[in-house]
Structure 1
Amino acid sequence: MLTASTASSSLPFRILYRYIYESDIQHVLDRFSPESYNSSGLLLFKEQEKAVRFKVLAVYYVCDPVSRHWVSLGRRARTFFLEGFVSRVNENNAVTSYKIVRVEMRKSSLNYLNLDMYSSETGKWVEHSLFCPNPITLVKRGGGPISFNGILHWFVYSHGMVAFDPYEDLKSKSCRLIRFPADRDVQSEVMHDGLYRLCDGCQGKLRFFEVATDPYSRYCFSMWDMKDYEKGEWCSEFKVTRSDLSSSDPELKSWLGKATFLPLSFHPFDLDIVYLRCVELACVVSYSIRNRRLDVACRPTGVVDDLSWRVVVPFVITRWPTSVPIPPVPKKKVVTPKDETPTGRLTFMF
């Protein structure tokens, strides 16, 4: 597991490698214990079939790693993927409800989005079909979703993102398309399947960050902010050349003119910082937008060949234990072998 933290915010955070395999869920939770990480919050797990392993994907188990309070959401068919999680909180910032959305993957372009959604308010999984204004094909690898202001966004080919609000859009039975910035490097996006771009929310802003694939390109880093979400309008914030970059680390400084960088994550609290992977030095670096400076943030242990925004997420949790809303328990009924309705049971781990 790759971790990174900073003292620039009162709340600690980690850049978490999305796929964690352990023989026991307790081992995963121990990595987030107060003794080693002074904070707490909800953690989300997906259980692997035919193996006692867990995959951090925001599905099947919702857990507070500090109190060891976790809820099982039941088993579902594997035709739906690209799972997303959103929640609502009250005036005391306590989680009151959450919804988990799984999207069906199709090879052909369709004018609708098939969803499988779980609600903590009902304790049930329900399938939905939403109309899309244009035919869409979901990106299979690294397709998201990302959550921005409680709205889930899945990446699609040709258009950019398809957006869905689990608390609102079921009323209109439709979703919307949001295009990426028109002046981005479209050729790089097609050739490298979006590996060199990062799109995510940060401190109330929706941002698009792009890294040049060729060290001899005119611009090395470029960034856009969404200025009007309803209209889908982006505004270019900066375009930086290699000669603009600096570093206080001697080894990293010697590589600035030729190193390969892959975007990983925005800093969850600091709009000035973007984290990237330096391929040649096998380390994670932080980039200061204000100072155009690169610094070594951490040198992860283990293999990092596949490290990119597709497999890492910024994981932020508060200092106090979070109460996991308990879904209502469905009434008992005769269950056939093909019935996959979740039980809604609650389990505590210590």
Structure 2
Amino acid sequence: MQINDLPDSLLIEILTRLPCQFAVRSKTVCKRWLSLISDPFFIRSFVHHQSLNHSSPFTLVHQFYYWHHHFAETASRKLHVVSEHPILKSQELFLDFLPCFQHPNQWPIRILASHGDLMVCHDNKLFSHQSKYYVCNLLTKQWRALPPIPGRHVEDDMAIGLVTYGDILPIFNYKVVRILKLGSHSSHLIAEIFSSDTGEWSESLLSCPQSIRRIWQFRTSAVTLNNALHWIINGNDGETIIVLDPFSGINGQCRLIDPPFELKFEMAHVCLGTCREKLRMSTIKGVHPNRMLKVWELKDYDKGEWLLQYRICLKEMVFVSDYQFNMLEFSTNLVLSFHPKDEDVVYLRCHNHIVKCNMRKGTLDVVSKCLGDPTFVIRTLTVFPLVHSCWPSSVHSQVKQ
């Protein structure tokens, strides 16, 4: 007897016990396996069987641009990842599976937002009617080109966010949110929202609090928590966090969360993120050798109460490996991201390297060398965290029977 002689029920029992990466790859074995593994019943069975032992591996995707023009094209296409996922542990990845790379006149792809295990990318054709947004899964290499936004092609003074949602795994639903300013003195802003449920864009007019109705700008990538999007912005009275709920309907309202008082007027290099479903902020303050790493956590989301979790002097931390130069002496030391599950871990930029910092153990570990030559300086470096569930999210809506 061969394996294909088994009935569907027994074959499903076998396939649901495979690691996720092998189950996904098994779709290519034959049409029967493709049909079985793509069926929602199989996916629910797989999730039910695997969820008890699944640790939700974390991937940090970073995209950067160099000062030197020789690297401009490569840097715009290249991704570096720090990953706990067995498939994505390779240090270099490309977005070549997106259709824009098949065009002879390639445009740089820029990652704009992430949530769960999905990312939003843009082909960077600024002010062009042909520019496109893509939602993609880096693990499965699935992608979806979003339809054109009706009647509007403004690309500056805006922010992009992504919210994945669903009652049970796997996630099939998401919203892409594009925020446009109406003017420096406007009391409203426009939210253009693409829904995977409808496959269309809709528009909402959002009321802004009085304290941010003058000149302001988004300072960070979107952070998704509680099905809402969070950005650090410049307000009239210093910097603050703006919260937008894409499920609030046509006429919604923005909420503000004040940062810790110490950061109110010093958020140029502050990291905003989440850990264990809590909002966090972190920064590195001072000059070498007395730089301090500080981490705050929002203990009460409704009341906006912050608590200082860590205050650590970087010179007291120890590198687990030896290097020829002291990366802590450089002024480019920044907090890049939090680990979504481990509250003791943050990721730092130390010159041109990504460093894993364990605040409880007091250790620093270089996990990604962006450039082998430390004399080059990276102009910008943006990171996007991904959390992989036990079955990868689909970029296409589930077909309702």
User: If the length of structure 2 is used for normalisation, what is the TM-score?
Assistant: 0.63
2:201 to 90, 109, 125: 125
Residues in 1 aligned to 2:98 and 2:338: alpha-carbon distance in whole angstroms? 23
Residues in 2 aligned to 1:45 and 1:153: alpha-carbon distance in whole angstroms? 28
Residues in 2 aligned to 1:118 and 1:73: alpha-carbon distance in whole angstroms? 8
Contact 2:243–2:254, Cα closer than 8 Å, also in 1: yes
Specify whether residues 45 and 212 from structure 1 end up closer, same or farther in structure 2 by C-alpha distance, changes over 3 A only.
farther
Q: Is residue 101 of structure 1 aligned with residue 177 of structure 2?
A: yes
Specify whether residues 154 and 128 from structure 1 end up closer, same or farther in structure 2 by C-alpha distance, changes over 3 A only.
same
Contact 1:112–1:135, Cα closer than 8 Å, also in 2: no
1:54 to 109, 119, 123: 109
Kindly state the Cα deviation for residue 138 of structure 1 after the two structures are TM-superposed.
4.2
Kindly state the Cα deviation for residue 255 of structure 1 after the two structures are TM-superposed.
5.4
User: What are the residue-to-residue correspondences of 1:1-350 with 2, within 5 Å?
Assistant: 10-18=55-63, 36-37=87-88, 51-57=106-112, 58=120, 60-65=133-138, 67-76=140-149, 77-80=152-155, 81-91=158-168, 93-105=169-181, 108-136=184-212, 137-140=215-218, 142-157=219-234, 158-167=238-247, 169-170=248-249, 173-184=252-263, 186=265, 188-189=266-267, 194-195=268-269, 197-215=270-288, 217=290, 220-251=292-323, 256=328, 258-260=329-331, 261-279=333-351, 282-301=352-371, 305-308=378-381, 311-318=382-389, 320-326=391-397
Specify whether residues 327 and 22 from structure 1 end up closer, same or farther in structure 2 by C-alpha distance, changes over 3 A only.
farther
Residues in 2 aligned to 1:101 and 1:46: alpha-carbon distance in whole angstroms? 22
Cα offsets for 1:71-122 (capped at 9, x unmatched): 321123332531111021232x122421111011466243222211111222
Cα offsets for 1:138-160 (capped at 9, x unmatched): 435x4322112221012211241
Aligned-partner SS, 2:318: coil
Cα offsets for 1:211-248 (capped at 9, x unmatched): 0152255x511111101111111111232234532333
Residues in 2 aligned to 1:161 and 1:45: alpha-carbon distance in whole angstroms? 33
Kindly state the Cα deviation for residue 163 of structure 1 after the two structures are TM-superposed.
0.4
Residues in 1 aligned to 2:89 and 2:314: alpha-carbon distance in whole angstroms? 38
Residue identity matched to 1:98: Y
Residues in 2 aligned to 1:240 and 1:67: alpha-carbon distance in whole angstroms? 39
Kindly state the Cα deviation for residue 19 of structure 1 after the two structures are TM-superposed.
6.4
Residues in 2 aligned to 1:283 and 1:55: alpha-carbon distance in whole angstroms? 20
Specify whether residues 185 and 305 from structure 1 end up closer, same or farther in structure 2 by C-alpha distance, changes over 3 A only.
farther
Contact 2:184–2:216, Cα closer than 8 Å, also in 1: no
User: If the length of structure 1 is used for normalisation, what is the TM-score?
Assistant: 0.71
Aligned-partner SS, 1:163: strand
Residues in 2 aligned to 1:171 and 1:107: alpha-carbon distance in whole angstroms? 20
Q: Quote the sequence identity (%).
A: 28
Residues in 1 aligned to 2:185 and 2:305: alpha-carbon distance in whole angstroms? 25
Residue identity matched to 2:370: P
Kindly state the Cα deviation for residue 203 of structure 1 after the two structures are TM-superposed.
1.6
Contact 1:246–1:253, Cα closer than 8 Å, also in 2: no
Q: Which ranges in structure 2 are unaligned for 5 or more consecutive residues?
A: 1-53, 66-71, 113-119, 122-132
Residues in 2 aligned to 1:46 and 1:83: alpha-carbon distance in whole angstroms? 21
Aligned-partner SS, 1:183: helix
Residues in 1 aligned to 2:180 and 2:298: alpha-carbon distance in whole angstroms? 28
Which range is displaced more, 177-186 or 106-115? 106-115
Kindly state the Cα deviation for residue 289 of structure 1 after the two structures are TM-superposed.
1.4
